[in-house]
Amino acid sequence: MKARIVAYLLTLWVILTLNFLLPRLLPGDPLSALLDPESSDYVFEAEVRASLETYYGLDRPLVAQYGAYLKGAVTGDLGRSIRLNQPVGELIVAHLPWTLLLTGTALTLASLLGLLGGSQAAWRRGSAVDRLVTAASVVAGNAPVYFVGMMLLILFGAELGWLPLAGGRTPFAQYNSPQAAIADIGTHLIMPALTLTLSLLGIQFLLVRNNMVGILGEDFMLVARAKGLRQARLKWNHALRNALLPFVAHLAAHAALAITGAVFVETLFQYPGMGRLIFEAVGARDYPVIQGVFLVVAIVVLTANLLADCLNARLDPRLAEEVGQ
Amino acid sequence: MSALSRLGRRPSVRPAQIVSAVGLETAVGVTAVVLFALVALAAPLLAPYDPHAFSGKPLERPSPAHPLGTNDAGQDILSELIYGTRISLAVGLGAALGTVALGLLVGAIAGYAGGPLDALLMRLVDVMLTLPRLPLLILLAAFLGSGLAQTMAIISLLFWPVTARVIRAQVQSQRQRGYVKMARNFGAGPAYVLRRHILPAIAPLIAFGLVTAAGRAVAMEAGLAFLGLGDPTAKSWGLMMRFALNLPGLLLTDRWLWWLLPPGLLITLLVLALTYLGMGLEERLQPSLRRR
């Protein structure tokens, strides 16, 4: 575990440094352009310009800039948004919960359905239902997530009119009770979460199914069957337990996929999360926001990786270094 | 199974025979990719108009003159779609070549050299694989500027580690083989051994890597254009969807049917065709994956 944590710290440092160096080393000098009256990207508000100058400190030596940047990153000072003239940290705090709600819902649903459906399909491999669901999963897992979302948007949003077309909640809504708030946020969540769930489910279903097919052919399954164990016990205790290992091992990669998908889904549904924030920032060349979102998302993904590693070590004693733990 | 069934057949080749020899997935994938390539090559012959020309009034409904209507600028949507094939395929091919070239270089060096250089390169690969790709892609695209060449370069820079890891494992295992050791003992240099002995062994992996990288690149290019990070002058499918969705109230009319749906469908079809082709190749590489 120690080696893994060192690897994560190294990755974190690479992310922090990349985030610092990229805008400074790339051609075109995008940051200086913000302060250059000749440039088309020039920031006109003096107050915003002053905050940019102090945050980036482009006139100081690179090492001093790096030190100030690292200090800011640790204390949560990520600069000020050019477009909204608001601290980037505050913007992220306002947007992150929406993304966590969306990706968390989708990842949970897709994992549960993927595990149940994948093992069920493997159990009945070759049947018409298995072949149909497997083919559908290849499509759902590989089709671009924004296309899946567009189809749902057209069907449930525009044609049937069952669900709201955009947003995370009704604009300017005043909620009289917590139930009303949950209902409103819930209805707005259905389509984006469903889109992301379908996309993740395709991938997770195939992973579980293919692993399960392998496990069902193993010797220990034959022995368990020969002992006369009941179907349910065979399926859930013997087979699924082993299929769980590769599933958990891939969970971090799926969390990263969920975040990638969320950027598209949030853009499509105008959902007020981090994806939407970075999308709008890109349009306005709002570099502090782009960098801040990148940093926070990278740390979220990294944490997910670490958690999945710990979970995996716990589930699979062979992976844990300490014997008996 | 395919080898056996081939033995008993007459020598004349029928379509069904090809399908059974290469597998349904590969056959479907190859056919679709070839069709897309033909459309891309014959775009000037197939497209009724220049996609940049203002050939009609804005937002025309489908008519004999404009089979899929016109966009908000009065450009023919069918022609945009046909020319868009070129962009998707060019980016797919360019980015796939870039990804595999970088992956091959790093993988071959790491696998062949071994030792501390291998450890260093593989640590780099580990770090790259942990980085969240899309946010990094957005960061790079935002700072590098948007053009098709940049898009290809960014995708290649982010996706090579996957290929590098696979290639390294294969190179490493080949290096241990008797005939490679023998060649080295006879004084063959690294370049000779890599080209003569190791390249043929990793060629199938390269083919598989190219196909999967192309699929990812097509989806990514369209995604970046959709997010507004692509080349704003290149009429790609992703950009078409972006413009369509930017029209207020698009979904309240039936306009999405000929403006939004076709580019989305084409991206999905091309990505799926490459996916099927990759799955077919993967099955041939690892017979254990064959359906049980």
3-state per-residue secondary structure call for chain A: CHHHHHHHHHHHHHHHHHHHHHHHHCCCCHHHHHHCCCCCCCCCCHHHHHHHHHHHCCCCCHHHHHHHHHHHHHHCCCCECCCCCCEHHHHHHHHHHHHHHHHHHHHHHHHHHHHHHHHHHHHCCCCHHHHHHHHHHHHHHHCCHHHHHHHHHHHHHHHCCCCCCCCCCCCCCCCCCHHHHHHHHHHHHHHHHHHHHHHHHHHHHHHHHHHHHHHHCCHHHHHHHHCCCCHHHHHHHHHHHHHHHHHHHCHHHHHHHHHHHHHHHHHHHCCCCHHHHHHHHHHCCCHHHHHHHHHHHHHHHHHHHHHHHHHHHHHCCCCCCCCCC
Residues of chain B contacting residue A11, judged by C-beta atoms under 8 Å apart: 126-127, 130-131
Residues of chain B contacting residue A210, judged by C-beta atoms under 8 Å apart: 289
Is the four-CA dihedral A215, A220, A222, A226 of positive or negative sign? negative
Inter-chain residue contact B140 with A22, CB threshold 8 Å: yes
Across the A:B interface, residue pairs with CB atoms under 8 Å apart total 123
Q: What is the pLDDT of residue B103?
A: 95
Inter-chain residue contact A259 with B223, CB threshold 8 Å: no
Percentage of chain A modeled with pLDDT above 70:
96
B-contacting residues of A 37-66, CB under 8 Å? none
Q: Which of A34, A123, A154, A303 to mutate to test the interface with B (most CBs of B within 10 A)?
A: A154
pLDDT over threshold 60, residue A260: yes
Q: What is the DSSP letter of B66?
A: S
Residue A64 identity (one-letter amino acid): A
Q: What is the pLDDT along chain B (292 residues), one digit of tens a residue?
A: 444 454 444 556 676 776 777 777 788 889 999 999 999 998 899 888 888 888 778 887 888 888 888 888 888 889 999 999 999 999 999 999 999 999 999 999 998 888 899 999 988 898 888 788 888 888 888 878 778 898 999 999 999 998 999 899 888 888 888 888 888 888 888 888 888 888 888 888 899 999 999 999 999 999 988 888 888 888 899 999 888 888 877 777 788 888 888 999 999 999 999 999 988 888 777 655 554 4
Nearest one of A325, A307, A300 to A92, comparing CA atoms:
A300
Do B142 and A289 contact (CB within 8 A), yes or no?
Answer: no
d(C-alpha B286, C-alpha B292), whole Å: 13
Residues of chain A contacting residue B215, judged by C-beta atoms under 8 Å apart: 142
d(C-alpha B290, C-alpha B280), whole Å: 9
Residues of chain B contacting residue A146, judged by C-beta atoms under 8 Å apart: 223, 226, 241, 264
- Whether chain B has a CB inside 8 Å of the CB on A213: the answer is yes
Q: SS3 of B230, please?
A: coil
Rounded to the nearest angstrom, the minimum Cα separation between A301 and chain B is: 7
Q: How far is CA B283 from CA A69, A217, B4, B104, B277, in A?
A: 49, 18, 17, 21, 10
Average the pLDDT over each of A164-173, A241-250, A251-260, B61-70 and give the range with the smallest value.
A164-173
Q: What is the pLDDT of residue B1?
A: 44
- Whether chain B has a CB inside 8 Å of the CB on A283: the answer is yes
The answer to whether ipTM exceeds 0.90 is no
Q: What is the pLDDT of residue A323?
A: 38
Paired residues of B70 in beta bridges: B76
Residue B98 identity (one-letter amino acid): G
Residues 6+ apart with CB under 8 A from A46: none
Residues of chain B contacting residue A264, judged by C-beta atoms under 8 Å apart: 223, 226-227
> The tokens of B221 are what?
């290019």
The pLDDT of A228-232, averaged and rounded, is 85
Residues of chain B contacting residue A15, judged by C-beta atoms under 8 Å apart: 131
Provide Rg for chain A, Cα atoms.
Answer: 24
Look-up of token digits 């525009």: A158
Inter-chain residue contact B135 with A297, CB threshold 8 Å: yes
Q: What is the pLDDT of residue A325?
A: 35
pLDDT over threshold 70, residue A321: no
Inter-chain residue contact A267 with B260, CB threshold 8 Å: no
Nearest one of A174, A170, A196 to A184, comparing CA atoms:
A170
Percentage of chain A modeled with pLDDT above 90:
19
Nearest one of A199, A68, A101 to A142, comparing CA atoms:
A199
Residue B40 identity (one-letter amino acid): A
pLDDT tens digits along A164-217: 777 777 777 777 888 888 888 888 898 999 999 999 999 999 999 988 988 888
Do A325 and A276 contact (CB within 8 A), yes or no?
Answer: no
- Whether chain A has a CB inside 8 Å of the CB on B232: the answer is no
Say which of A125, A165, A290 has its CB closest to residue B292.
A125
Mean of the per-residue pLDDT values of chain A: 84
d(C-alpha A325, C-alpha B22), whole Å: 49
- Whether chain A has a CB inside 8 Å of the CB on B153: the answer is no
> The tokens of B228 are what?
């507004």
How many of the other CB atoms lie within 10 Å of CB of A113? 17
Is the four-CA dihedral B265, B271, B277, B282 of positive or negative sign? negative
Do A144 and A233 contact (CB within 8 A), yes or no?
Answer: no
Inter-chain residue contact B272 with A287, CB threshold 8 Å: no
pLDDT range class, residue A322, cuts 50, 70, 90: very low
Inter-chain residue contact B264 with A260, CB threshold 8 Å: no
Q: What is the pLDDT of residue A324?
A: 37
B-contacting residues of A 6-25, CB under 8 Å? 7-8, 10-11, 14-15, 18-19, 22-23
Do A113 and A205 contact (CB within 8 A), yes or no?
Answer: yes
Q: What is the DSSP letter of B49?
A: S
> The tokens of B109 are what?
């060096």
Rounded to the nearest angstrom, the minimum Cα separation between B220 and chain A is: 9
Inter-chain residue contact B251 with A144, CB threshold 8 Å: no
Q: Which of A147, A291, A299 to mutate to test the interface with B (most CBs of B within 10 A)?
A: A147
The pLDDT of A94-105, averaged and rounded, is 94
- Chain B residue whose CA is closest to A262: B134
Kindly compute the dihedral angle of the four CA atoms of residues B212, A149, B150, A259, in this order, to the nearest 10 degrees.
-80
Nearest one of B47, B102, B86, B57 to B236, comparing CA atoms:
B86
Inter-chain residue contact A144 with B275, CB threshold 8 Å: no
Nearest one of B119, B97, B133 to B168, comparing CA atoms:
B119
Q: What is the pLDDT of residue B289?
A: 52
Q: What is the pLDDT of residue A27?
A: 66
Average the pLDDT over each of A17-31, A235-249, B169-183 and give the range with the smallest value.
A17-31
Q: Burial level of A228, CB count in 10 A (0-12/13-18/19+)?
A: exposed
Inter-chain residue contact B223 with A293, CB threshold 8 Å: no
